[in-house]
Amino acid sequence: MISVEKSGKTVEEAIESAVLELGVDREKVDVQVLETPSKGFLGFGGKLAKVLVTVKKVDASAVAREFLQKVFDTMQLTVTVEKINKEDHVIFDLRGNDLGVLIGKHGQTLDALQYLTNLAANRDADDRVRIILDVEDYRKRREETLANLALRLADKVKRRGERVSLEPMSPHERKIIHMALQEDHRIVTYSEGDEPFRKVVIALKR
């Protein structure tokens, strides 16, 4: 917790001084009034106001949910958000009608939204959290599709002896292909090209 103690002629003046030093917005702090101001007697013995201002602990998950809701409101989408806590990350499973717009081609829109959500959530967070966005189990279905595709293409490579290049994919999706074929001792996989056009190549092991 970051705190600062400040004095001023009024409580509000002391708070403003503390907030200015902390460099945060007023709504992001908790205020404890240590002393209220007094004028004293005949102008003597007066006391300044004294406050202890503490930056609030930021809950990254709560910030993420708030950010997503603003996005959904802007897009005029009604979305139910289920939070699933995992050991090293948090999943926000999004459910509703006509949410394909949130997924985009091969999940590109979903990946972009996930990236922005993580930026917003962790910008001022005390404890960083990795947030995964999913739309009605899309990511699980996509993983299964990619794994099956990898197996089919590996069989094709073994039959024809020619390498196969897949379409450009995100690092996460390329990893799925690599993992699906890592136990096949006749096959080797590697990535080539530059982002965002980097793709997986499946070839016979020499």
**Across 13-28, average pLDDT:** 85
Q: In what order do the strands lie in the sheet with 49-55?
A: 3-8, 49-55, 29-35
- Given the DSSP bridges, would you call strands 49-55 and 3-8 parallel, antiparallel or unpaired? antiparallel
* 45 and 100 housed in the same domain: no
Same domain, 36 and 67: no
The torsion angle over the Cα atoms of residues 72, 76, 82 and 86, rounded to 10 degrees, is -30
| Total count of domains within the chain | 3
More confident residue, 29 or 45: 29
Question: For residues 117 and 12, what is the distance between their CA atoms, to the nearest angstrom?
Answer: 34
For 115-148, give one letter per residue: b (16+ CB within 10 A) or e: eebbebbbeebeeebebbbbbeebbeebbeebee
71 and 130 together in one domain? yes
pLDDT in tens, 157-176: 999 989 999 998 888 889 99
Which amino acid would we find at residue 186? Answer: R
Q: Is the pLDDT of residue 45 over 70?
A: no
Indicate whether 128 and 177 sit together in one domain: no
Structure tokens at 167: 């379409």
Largest CA distance in the chain: 101
In terms of domains, do 68 and 50 share one? no
- The residue out of 95, 115, 136 marking a domain boundary is 136
- Same domain for 13 and 73? no
Tens digit of pLDDT for each residue in 97-130? 888 899 988 888 999 999 999 998 888 776 788 9
119 and 172 both lie in a single domain: no
Shared domain check, 128 and 66: yes
Domain range for 131 = 60-136
What pLDDT was estimated at residue 150?
95
User: pTM for the whole thing?
Assistant: 0.65
Tens of pLDDT, residue by residue over 149-158, are: 999 999 999 9
Rounded to whole angstroms, the Cα distance separating 53 from 10 reads: 14
Burial of residue 197 (number of CB atoms within 10 Å: 0-12, 13-18, 19+)? exposed
Strands (DSSP E) contained in 106-186 are: 131-135, 164-165
Partners of 187 in beta bridges: 204
- Do 78 and 46 sit in the same domain of this protein? no
CATH number, domain containing residue 75: 3.30.300.20
Q: Where a domain ends, among 116, 136, 156?
A: 136
- Whether 50 and 102 map to the same domain: the answer is no
